[in-house]
Structure 1
Amino acid sequence: MKSNRALRTPGGLSVRLDVRSLVVVLLLLLAALAASVLLIGTGDFPISAGDVLKTLLGNGDAGQQFIVNELRLPRVLVALLVGASLGLGGALFQSISRNPLGSPDVLGLGQGATAGALVVIVLFSGDAGAVTAGALVGGLATGLAIYLLAWKQGVHGYRLVLVGIGVSAVVTAVNGYLLTKADIVDAARAVVWMTGSLSGRDWDQVWPLLALSAVLVPLVLANGRGLRMMEMGDDVSYALGVRVERVRMLLLVAAVLLTAAATAAAGPVGFVALTAPQLARRLTRSPGPNLVPSLCMGAALLVTADWVSQRLLGADQLPVGVVTGVLGGVYLLWLLVTERRAGRI
């Protein structure tokens, strides 16, 4: 059975359907939904999966309605949206740089968002809304700096990664300096934020992420063909009619916005953007950026990691960033060994 099938619409438009990728996307969506139901039912007041579903459908009692709809559902939606944003942003960076290490974690966008949040916390003692805005501005400023420093008659993939690593080192040093200048209360608050956590997330974080995703995801998918052509090289892309620099700039801005917004909502949750696209590609066994599978993989990864963190030590005892950091670090080491054996690094 072939993985690809060509479908022809009544208007004569031919559409190629990758059956394996479609199956992978459906399975990842089911896994994300199943983990979401389990996560909603996990906590100091456990609720069975059946009661969670009944409550989501409006048939729970008053106590369950409050716990599910007001306390736990927003957290799960933030986890799904943040994971999806990081997965899609990571797929864009890796495809544009044509490098499996080209993710926001390596390029320093998370550190840039952290710097923006630390400035607000340490220098201005800002509230949660101000910290979110500071993280968003810091991530955008870092992305712009990386792009400008990597520009030389275009943006080459390896140059983008190398510049990103250098910027990441500088911003990490700045973050360390800011922590040393903070008082004990602000420093403790900053460290908690820097770990990456979904604790205390509510509808105030859901709506901005949802609105941004509603704009950026269709925009990215609409430029998916151009991104796929660009993986064959700029010259081939130009020959096929792709406006390379325009598409690259547009998708880089979208990737930075997705990553910065996700970091602003949940803190710098590590390695989801690095691992989700690679895992999605291995499951689909399909060339190209795998944008939709990466998005679904990121959502499934983060909500599952949050459920694991709560099951290990209890509610909010282990930030989700610790779990993703451990798993992502192991994966990064494996990826480096694989790339070295293949002679690519």
Structure 2
Amino acid sequence: MTILKSPAEIAPEGSRTRNHWRGLPARVLTPTFFLGSAVVVMFAVYVLLGSYTVTIPDFFKIVTAHLTGGEKIPGASFIVMEHKLPRAAVGTLIGVAFGLAGALFQTMLRNPLASPDIIGISYGASAAAVTAIVIFGAGGAVVSWAALGGALGVAAIIYAISRGSRSGGGNRGNAAGNRLILAGVGIAAALHAVVNFLMTRADIRTAAEALVWLNGSLNSANWERTGILAASLLVLVPAAMALSSPLRILELGDDTAAGLGIKVNAARLGLVLTAVGLAAVATAAAGPVAFVAFLAGPIARRLVRKASLPASAFTGALIVLAADFLAANIAPLVLGGTVLPVGVITGALGAPFLLWLLVTANRKDA
């Protein structure tokens, strides 16, 4: 009996090895790989360049001296270890968190508008934080904890409202998603009014402090905040990756997902809790940095040609790092020394993107 062999099986060993290595770059050099590399490059640019530049040898000397207790470079060691590095680290971590949170919501609800900025979760954090600042005179970690509690509380209310009524048939998932978005937009409008009212009752100094937080800023970045963020993401990022498989199946619709063995309600609840947790810890760390969660998912999808959580995380980190570098180093040259919060830059990027998204959606529907 003659057994037919494939060309790969009958090729010489050396040829198969060469073919293996020839195919490796095609599998490794993906858009996601380039996005990750861009984050690393932007992180290095952020730390080494700007208003105070540091050479690469000096950077490693500073870090080594900090870790081993060696001789420090006067001025440079403080700027790098207490300002640039923690700020870059917090910016990267909140970018990852916002990017993942937006991608989870947008993919699960199959709607590019379903991001924490739009559906009210960020407003919940803002209202709680401004209440703590204006009414109780809180600051620092207390404001962050208040923001975390506000985001989680509003998310619970929105989720409860979205499940309040049930639709039959195959559009049940779409109906629940639409209700969640509409409930979030309504609650966001109410909370925005609350924030505006509190701002009118605050004195000028307190209002200025609250306004900086509302715009989203990395000014309060430090190693303690970096550690808390990193510990949170060590729990939430693996949870998001573990839920990526049911998330892809939920894109097919609730009925199809249930037919494929997915526990739809449990998977949806897990996705909501994970996405809310990511958005909440990022907002608590740096304020509601506008539109990062909204921008990261669609941009990553256009680059990778599919929904991708890693690509969305890298895109979010890249947006925050680039926007804060621009706000801290380029904007002062244009605006006569004025340093802008990072949220101002991301908001300026997000508004036209939202309009473009709506215009292209209308063209597809026409």
- The two structures share one fold, judged by TM-score above 0.5: yes
- Distance in structure 2 (CA, Å) of the matches to 1:42 and 1:128: 28
* 2:339 pairs with 1:317: yes
* 2:161 pairs with 1:149: yes
Q: What is the match of residue 13 of structure 1?
A: none
Whether contact under 8 Å (2:300, 2:311) holds in the other structure is yes
Supply the RMSD in Å over aligned alpha carbons.
2.2
Q: Which of these residues, 196, 211, 232, is aligned with residue 176 of structure 1? A: 196
Q: What is the match of residue 299 of structure 2?
A: 279
Whether contact under 8 Å (2:51, 2:329) holds in the other structure is no
Whether contact under 8 Å (2:46, 2:321) holds in the other structure is yes
Q: What is the match of residue 5 of structure 1?
A: none
Q: How does 1:233-312 map to 2 (within 5 A)?
A: 233-286=253-306, 289-312=307-330
Give the CA deviation at 1:50: 5.5
Give the CA deviation at 1:182: 1.4
Whether contact under 8 Å (2:100, 2:313) holds in the other structure is yes
* 2:36 pairs with 1:29: yes
TM-score (norm 1): 0.89
1:217-248 deviation per Cα after TM superposition (whole angstroms, max 9, x unaligned): 11111111101000000011001110111011
Q: What is the match of residue 248 of structure 2?
A: 228
Q: Summarize the Cα distance change of 1:173–1:228 in structure 2 as closer, same or farther, 3 Å threshold.
A: same
Paired AA for residue 234 in structure 2: A
1:126-180 deviation per Cα after TM superposition (whole angstroms, max 9, x unaligned): 1211110111111111111110111134762222111111111111111111111
Percent identity of the aligned residues?
40
Whether contact under 8 Å (2:290, 2:347) holds in the other structure is yes
SS in 2 for 1:47: coil
Give the CA deviation at 1:339: 0.7
- Distance in structure 2 (CA, Å) of the matches to 1:326 and 1:253: 29
Paired AA for residue 360 in structure 2: T
- Which structure 2 residue ranges, 5 or more long, are not aligned? 1-23, 167-171
SS in 2 for 1:255: helix
Q: Which of these residues, 72, 80, 99, is aligned with residue 87 of structure 1? A: 99
Q: Summarize the Cα distance change of 1:18–1:183 in structure 2 as closer, same or farther, 3 Å threshold.
A: farther
Q: What is the match of residue 140 of structure 1?
A: 152
1:16-69 deviation per Cα after TM superposition (whole angstroms, max 9, x unaligned): x99679622221121111111111134543224564355445599523333212
Q: Which of these residues, 93, 111, 118, is aligned with residue 123 of structure 2? A: 111
* 2:235 pairs with 1:215: yes
- Distance in structure 2 (CA, Å) of the matches to 1:56 and 1:327: 34
- Which structure 1 residue ranges, 5 or more long, are not aligned? 1-16
Paired AA for residue 108 in structure 1: G
SS in 2 for 1:200: coil
SS in 2 for 1:105: coil
Whether contact under 8 Å (2:96, 2:316) holds in the other structure is yes
SS in 2 for 1:107: coil
SS in 2 for 1:36: helix
Whether contact under 8 Å (1:37, 1:49) holds in the other structure is no
Q: How does 1:119-134 map to 2 (within 5 A)?
A: 119-134=131-146
Q: What is the match of residue 77 of structure 1?
A: 89
Paired AA for residue 302 in structure 1: V
1:97-118 deviation per Cα after TM superposition (whole angstroms, max 9, x unaligned): 1101111111011111000101
Paired AA for residue 266 in structure 1: A
Give the CA deviation at 1:310: 1.8
SS in 2 for 1:342: helix
SS in 2 for 1:62: coil
- Distance in structure 1 (CA, Å) of the matches to 2:205 and 2:315: 37
- Distance in structure 2 (CA, Å) of the matches to 1:94 and 1:86: 12
SS in 2 for 1:241: coil
Between the two proteins, the alignment pairs up a number of residues equal to 326
